[in-house]
Amino acid sequence: MTAVEYKTVDGVAVLTMNNPPVNGLGANLRSGLADALDRALSDPAVVALVLIGAGRMFSAGADIREFGQPPAEGVAILPDLIDRIEACDKPVVAAIHGVAAGGGLELALGCHIRVADSKARVGLPEVTLGIIPGAGGTQRLPRLTGVAQALDLIVSATLVPASKGRALGILDEIAEGDLETAAVAAARTAAQSGAIRRTCDQEDALADARDNPGLYDDFRTKIARRARGMRAPYAAIQCVQAAVDLPFAEGQERERATFRDLVDGDEARAMRHAFFAEREVRKIPDVPADTAIKPIERAAVIGCGTMGGGIAMNFANAGTPVTVVETGDEALGKGLETVRRNYAATVAKGRLSQDQMDRRMAAITGTTDFEAIADADIVIEAVFEEMDLKQEVFRTLDRVCKPGAVMASNTSMLDIDKIAAVTARPEAVIGTHFFSPANVMKLMENVRGKASSHETIATVMDLSAKLGKVGVLVGVCDGFVGNRMLGPYTREAKFLLEEGAWPQDVDKALYDFGFPMGPFAMLDLAGNDVGWRIRKRQRAEKPSNLRYSHIADRICERGRFGQKTGAGWYRYEPGSRTPIPDPEVEEIIVQASKEQGIARRTFTAEEIVERCLYPLINEGARILEEGIAIRASDVDVVWMNGYGFPRYRGGPMFYADTVGVGRVYERMAAFHAEHGELMKPAPLLERLAKEGGRFGAL
Ligand code: 3H9
């Protein structure tokens, strides 16, 4: 079957792109379009053309899978195909429904008229793939929208709704009725008028930028935080500037050279990996894609503390009524008040209307009566992290929940199987580990118990997507994937302090690597008391001879629990979140070095990064060996969405493949020799290193 269907309607050739699932502009579609173009242009009875998409959308752009592959022989590359369409002497109309993204929008920009369905969305999201629009987008878009708007759209990678696209000048018409009919009518009118408006010829919208050359630097300053460590946003700005400074053809050449330079680089490879990893993660090998999903029409959350309140907000945001259960009226009132304040803060920032807030608050009902959740389709328990307490809650849930309800625990560390064991329906029990703040963080670690049924798993994975989260299915173990790998990362960060580094040195090295903050700033934000409590319990239950740093305990003994107490690994001015190095902490650290008999020395940023990240990757290798995560890319998804691992480095396992598994193993082996058992290389790491293998190829 050809990827382009051809028909004529009233003298207008209608070319329908049909390349499921997203009309990606791969070689087959490009070649189909080129042939259909030949046919329409050589037919004297055809006066104009319409380009439309079959299925869900116009086009999601270039076929990302083709990047990094040799070009298909004998098939025009997308920029050339678009130039050819723009040069046509018969009017060409793009009829856009669903999405026109990236190369899909660039194709439409090369058409002479753009008609869209009212629900369509358009944009150039290439920078999220570590590249720039490379088929004329940086040259044509500013010619329609003006430079400031084009920079905003390209660098923010936003898909805007049709109404905004029309207001910005990207779209010429919003179709009232049937899209194809409207496009054919527009094509016929254009043919009759004889005038063809080519985007490449438009110059008016560029005039403002010519009078304001400081615009580009201002924009660079504006995006500095967001775009830290990335090349693509800055490359896009340069290309948009070229649209203003150079003739169209030269600007396009600049764009193409820049695109080629970026597309094979580490940043683009990592971000493509992230794109596909976040889609692959939805596929569970032993859970068939057609497994029945239970409808979630009513939800319940047990506990209205920070986590419970945040989880309830997710349901309310998604329009699902949710009942929150607390033990007493006071705790309930306090929890709901926090939720209200959270929403109010968003309204104050202008990101939510008062009306939306009211509707969301109305979707949340508080109660102290467990019987009130008897009709919930899913219940998420978010009480204190204690097994006895959780088991008690699940006994109650087993009694009150309706048959078929999913019973989930938000535990971040406890054994789901032990929780499920107290119920008569362990198949309905699963972990849904949200990250704090639960209404903001994208990650959900969905923890599969031994007995969790396929239906329970499929329902919770689907729920993650409906809540706008990225759900990753993981197995039961201490800390699951994320926190288990966080362990060696923060452990080594603390050992580095004993050996001579300061918290600010370690934090700077990891911030410069691309994390939003280093481990000590992160611990201060999360609160040091939780880890302290866990460490005390673990050391009492399982005494060990392995190396242990007492610095964190000393910090906590002084009540330095982090930002919330104004002091932790750093000190904080009242009302400020800026960490300030504190001589009191330095004293504790120096004392610890002395007690351990360690001669302090300085560390380079590279040493710090390797020392903290390679043990984290090593733990990831163990997690894969044990089957706790399904794929190395799932581990990457956890770290990019839950812990701020820079997306432009693709997550820890992809990063290991980038630097070379051999290098990671070699350093781990050296750390092992120097620091002992805790640094022992994982067998999988060793095997891959010896075979020259990659995590991505497992
Ligand atoms: C570009 O255009 C470069 C040009 O400037 C220059 C060229 C010279 N290619 O996301 P979904 C797959 S770069 C290949 O679940 P949704 C996706 O992997 C491109 N595959 O659907 C998934 O496969 P599977 C710039 C693609 O409804 C399936 O389609 N464009 C592509 O939730 C369904 O996808 C972009 O960055 C692609 N371009 O969301 C847009 N797109 O079923 C990228 C999707 O096997 N795409 N797939 O897992 C998107 O943002 C979303 O797919 C979209 C639909 C919003 C369109």
Q: How confident is the model at residue 258 (pLDDT cuts 50, 70, 90)?
A: very high
pLDDT tens for 316-363 read 999 999 999 999 999 999 999 999 999 999 999 999 999 999 999 999
Query: What letter represents residue 521's amino acid?
Result: A
The residues pairing with 364 across neighbouring beta strands, listed in sequence order, are 322
DSSP conformation letters of 638-669 = HHHHHS---GGGT-HHHHHHHH-HHHHHHHHH
Pick the residue whose CA is nearest to atom 46 on ligand 1.
60
Ligand 1 site, residue 155, Cβ cutoff 6 A: no
Distance (angstroms) between ligand 1 centre and the Cα of 127 equals: 13
Q: How far apart are CA 595 and CA 365, in angstroms?
A: 55
Best mutation site among 17, 19, 22 for ligand 1 pocket (most ligand atoms within 8 Å of CB)? 22
Q: How far apart are CA 357 and CA 320, in angstroms?
A: 14
Ligand 1 site, residue 210, Cβ cutoff 6 A: no
Q: What percent of the chain lies above the pLDDT cut of 90?
A: 94
CA geometry: angle at 90 spanning 85 and 96, to 5°? 55
Query: 605-625 vs 482-499: helix axis angle to the nearest 10?
Result: 150
Ligand 1 site, residue 328, Cβ cutoff 6 A: no
Ligand 1 site, residue 492, Cβ cutoff 6 A: no
Ligand 1 site, residue 21, Cβ cutoff 6 A: yes
The pLDDT assigned to 413 comes to: 86
Atom of ligand 1 nearest to the CA of 137: 5
Distance (angstroms) between ligand 1 centre and the Cα of 51 equals: 19
- CB count, 10 Å around CB of 226? 10
Q: How confident is the model at residue 544 (pLDDT cuts 50, 70, 90)?
A: confident
The pLDDT assigned to 573 comes to: 96
Pick the residue whose CA is nearest to atom 5 on ligand 1.
133
Residue 229, pLDDT > 90, answer: yes
Which own/partner pairs from 614-617 qualify as long-range (CB within 8 Å, at least 24 positions apart)? 614/664, 614/667, 614/668, 614/671, 615/488, 615/489, 615/491, 615/492, 615/668, 615/671, 615/678, 615/679, 616/485, 616/486, 616/488, 616/489, 616/652, 617/652, 617/653, 617/655, 617/656, 617/664, 617/685
Q: How far apart are CA 122 and CA 36, in angstroms?
A: 24
Q: How confident is the model at residue 531 (pLDDT cuts 50, 70, 90)?
A: confident
Q: For the chain, what is the total number of helices (H) and then of strands (E)?
A: 29, 17
pLDDT tens for 497-526 read 999 999 999 999 999 999 999 999 999 998
The pLDDT assigned to 102 comes to: 98
Ligand 1 site, residue 22, Cβ cutoff 6 A: yes
Alpha helices in 292-353 (DSSP H): 306-317, 329-348
Ligand 1 site, residue 493, Cβ cutoff 6 A: no
This prediction's pTM: 0.95
Contact call for residues 183 and 52 (beta carbons, < 8 A): yes
What is the pLDDT averaged over residues 129-154?
Answer: 98
Ligand 1 site, residue 24, Cβ cutoff 6 A: yes
Residue 1, pLDDT > 70, answer: no
Ligand 1 site, residue 656, Cβ cutoff 6 A: no
Q: How far apart are CA 87 and CA 463, in angstroms?
A: 47
What is the pLDDT averaged over residues 541-562?
Answer: 92
The pLDDT assigned to 533 comes to: 87
Atom of ligand 1 nearest to the CA of 276: 18
Among all chains, which residue has been given the structure tokens 């290991």? 656
pLDDT tens for 359-413 read 999 999 999 999 999 999 999 999 998 999 999 999 999 999 999 999 999 998 8
* The two three-digit tokens of residue 418, written as one number: 């032990």
The pLDDT assigned to 541 comes to: 84
- Residue 48: which of 13, 16, 83, 82 has the closest Cα? 13
Residue 273, pLDDT > 70, answer: yes
Contact call for residues 665 and 659 (beta carbons, < 8 A): no
Atom of ligand 1 nearest to the CA of 135: 6
What is the pLDDT averaged over residues 603-608?
Answer: 98
Question: How distant, in Å, are the alpha carbons of 25, 123, 543, 654, 685 from that of 60?
Answer: 8, 10, 56, 25, 37
CA geometry: angle at 271 spanning 269 and 272, to 5°? 65
Ligand 1 site, residue 475, Cβ cutoff 6 A: no
In this structure, the dihedral spanned by the alpha carbons of residues 211, 216, 218 and 219, taken in order and rounded to 10 degrees, is: 130
Q: How far apart are CA 99 and CA 322, in angstroms?
A: 32
| Average of per-residue pLDDT values in the chain | 96
pLDDT tens for 5-58 read 999 999 999 999 999 999 999 999 999 999 999 999 999 999 999 999 999 999
Catalytically annotated residues: 106, 126
Distance (angstroms) between ligand 1 centre and the Cα of 124 equals: 12
Q: How far apart are CA 640 and CA 652, in angstroms?
A: 9
Distance (angstroms) between ligand 1 centre and the Cα of 64 equals: 7
CA atoms within 13 A on the CB side of 574: 0
Q: How far apart are CA 668 and CA 684, in angstroms?
A: 13
Atom of ligand 1 nearest to the CA of 65: 14
Contact call for residues 641 and 443 (beta carbons, < 8 A): yes
Distance (angstroms) between ligand 1 centre and the Cα of 29 equals: 15
Q: How far apart are CA 462 and CA 561, in angstroms?
A: 37
The pLDDT assigned to 610 comes to: 98
Distance (angstroms) between ligand 1 centre and the Cα of 271 equals: 13
- Residue 30: which of 50, 48, 3, 52 has the closest Cα? 3
In this structure, the dihedral spanned by the alpha carbons of residues 330, 333, 334 and 337, taken in order and rounded to 10 degrees, is: -170
Instruction: Give residue 503's region: left, alpha or beta (phi > 0; psi -120 to 50).
Output: alpha
Look at the chain and count its residues.
698
pLDDT tens for 410-469 read 998 899 999 999 999 999 999 999 998 899 999 999 999 999 999 999 999 999 999 999
Distance (angstroms) between ligand 1 centre and the Cα of 110 equals: 20
The pLDDT assigned to 536 comes to: 87
Q: How far apart are CA 95 and CA 182, in angstroms?
A: 8
* Biggest CA pair distance of the chain: 91
